[in-house]
Amino acid sequence: MKLLFNLTVVLTLACIMSCSDSTNTVEKVNIPAAKGKLFIIGGGDRGDSLMQAMLDAAGWEKGDLITAITLPSGWGDSAYIWLNNDFKKLTGQNCVKFDSAAVHVPAKLDSLRMSKVIFISGGDQNKMMQLIKGTDIKKAIKEAYMNGATISGTSAGASIQSEKMITGDGLIDTVYDVTFDVLWNGNIELVEGLGLLDSVIIDQHFVVRSRHNRLLSAVIENPGYQGVGIDEGTAILVSGDTATVYGASQVLTFTNPASITSPKDSLLNGRDIRVSIYLPGEKFAIKR
């Protein structure tokens, strides 16, 4: 009788676990995949070839809406003029201007949702996130991406596409520099970004400005994330779970750190960090 009871308990538990696994699988399958793409440029000279590659990847056709978001920029109307000149040369049409004056204009929000291409300028990514706080702009950009738009950006417009976004500021070493001199635990500042990549942290101007230390800091402190460093004049096209490198230079990825035991406010340590360097034309998997 005792044996029969134990067998019944085991079978019941097995059934519960099986049902639970099945439910979890269904939930994952039902998560919608974005129909759009990301074209993320590491800053520097974009050149007509990179911009044209972005338009081609987007499947842009004459009459399709292009919106230029200049919220990170500190150059006022100049940022829009530069971007508009680039797009007009390649497409023959002007793009929609989305600056700080557009943040609370419903018609401008609709332009985001209807755009085939949304391009985010360089500047200060944290500034843009502060400007759009409490608005539906982040939601509108994500809706456009889910529905088939290509979201692009350069420099700050690259970093902002992560869910956990590098601001560039140090929390311990507070004197700003283009990189970190030391890998301190607790020094990297990460804040909320647009969340188009939920398991990836993007950094830009990567090789030129030797930003390995700050992206390593971000990945060691967030070991579930993939660090992607994009150099100037270089871009990745993210389609589904695959990134393809475009442009003139390299893209580096940092993944899978282990054995992280650093006390707070001390030097970081880590083991078995996987480093990969990709050249134009090469592909790699994007973590989802």
Indicate whether 122 and 253 sit together in one domain. Answer: yes
- pLDDT score at 14: 40
Between 10 and 129, the more confident residue is 129
Q: For 135-185, write each residue's pLDDT tens digit.
A: 999 999 999 999 999 999 999 999 999 999 999 999 998 888 888 998 999
Q: What is the torsional sign of CA 20, 26, 27, 29?
A: positive
Check whether 110 has a pLDDT greater than 90: yes
Indicate whether 9 and 130 sit together in one domain. Answer: no
Indicate whether 135 and 224 sit together in one domain. Answer: yes
Indicate whether 26 and 131 sit together in one domain. Answer: no
Check whether 7 has a pLDDT greater than 60: no
CB 164 within 8 A of CB 225: yes
The candidate with the shortest Cα–Cα distance to 153, out of 36, 288, 43, is 43
Q: Rounded mean pLDDT of 51-71?
A: 98
Tokens, residue 57: 């990847």
Q: Rounded mean pLDDT of 193-218?
A: 96
Indicate whether 18 and 88 sit together in one domain. Answer: no
Q: Rounded mean pLDDT of 129-135?
A: 95
Neighbour tally for 167: CB within 10 Å: 18
Indicate whether 103 and 164 sit together in one domain. Answer: yes
The candidate with the shortest Cα–Cα distance to 164, out of 141, 194, 131, is 194
Indicate whether 68 and 6 sit together in one domain. Answer: no
Indicate whether 3 and 106 sit together in one domain. Answer: no
- pLDDT score at 249: 98
Indicate whether 161 and 23 sit together in one domain. Answer: no
Indicate whether 208 and 169 sit together in one domain. Answer: yes
Q: For 274-285, write each residue's pLDDT tens digit.
A: 999 999 999 999
Indicate whether 24 and 98 sit together in one domain. Answer: no
Number of domains in the chain: 2
Chain CA centroid to CA 242, Å: 13
Indicate whether 70 and 116 sit together in one domain. Answer: yes
The structure's pTM equals: 0.88
Q: What is the CATH number of the domain that holds 80?
A: 3.40.50.880
Q: Which domain holds residue 83?
A: 35-285
